[in-house]
Amino acid sequence: MNSSIDLSVNLAGMPMDNPIVPASGTFGFGKEFSEFYDINILGSFSFKGTTRDSRFGNPTPRIAECESGMINAVGLQNPGIEAIIAHELPAMKAYFHKPVVANISGFSLEEYVYCCERIDEQEQVGIIEVNVSCPNVKHGGMSFGTSPEAAAEVTRAVKAVTTKPVFIKLTPNVTDIVSIAKACEEAGADGICLINTLLGMRIDLKRRRPVIANVMGGFSGPAVFPVAVRMVHQVSKVCNIPIMGCGGVSTAADVIEMMMAGATAVQVGSANLKNPYACKEIIENLPIEMERLGITKLSDIIGIV
């Protein structure tokens, strides 16, 4: 590898050796992947979406294969915030020695505030990623992330009880992503994560019923990559806070494209489920791809398009 090639980035004050971050829900708490390779080569990783109470998740089947991706409706299965603080984070110290991204989900404003305040106290957490794609149970199940006002309200409430950088992870299932991202920035967000899954559905032709027990689920994989690149580019042009790009990333070239569109760090999601070495291979291939394109410093290309 060319020693002059620099993969490092700075994400809202958190220095990273490279921009690669396995996305929440595709990497667990890192333990299973640490048995395949030393996951300390990662820039960071976003651990499993965390709620106040433990959740069993949705009924099965939860996964549907698609031509160029997958649909999942796992339903935020997790042991709850107190169990994660008591067990998962201490165990993580043995195999991951960098700050992690804590993905927090909630079904009410109070739940977001409680979980973010608790996770903010944990030394291993470098960034808090707030998933506003959950249905607001107090307001008819509409996602917090589908209106600028609701997304801003969550952002303000969480920022009031935290000291660490807060990134708001937005749903792409909206007509105007820019106004929602801008509302989050104005409410104090330190960064934006784009995009969460698109809403999809498959039908079992023989059984004449939906493949997934939940009927619909989150569609991810290579097919959503152009949508993610477009949204990252749009938001980067109007917001002055960093973006974590996410959605269909599976190669080093995808990472560079996402960064050119405006992302400072890049999350890799469903590719991890298909190939446990996906992130390792991307990190190894980045210098080769950079050399091919005449890029010596990865941070130089952020938002150049």
Kindly tell me if the per-residue pLDDT of 20 is higher than 60.
yes
Q: What is the pTM for the complete model shown?
A: 0.96
User: What are the DSSP calls for 244-278, one per residue?
Assistant: EEESS--SHHHHHHHHHHT-SEEEE-THHHH-TTH
pLDDT digit string (tens) for 29-48? 999 999 999 999 999 999 99
All structural domains of the chain = 9-57+77-193+223-301 (3.20.20.70)
Q: What is the pLDDT of residue 143?
A: 87
Confidence of residue 243 (pLDDT cuts 50, 70, 90): very high
Q: Which of 115, 116, 134, 184 is catalytic?
A: 134
Sign of the CA dihedral 32, 34, 39, 40? positive
Instruction: State percent of the chain over pLDDT 90.
Output: 95
Confidence of residue 133 (pLDDT cuts 50, 70, 90): confident
115 labelled catalytic: no
Specify the length of the chain in residues.
Answer: 305
Kindly tell me if the per-residue pLDDT of 137 is higher than 90.
no
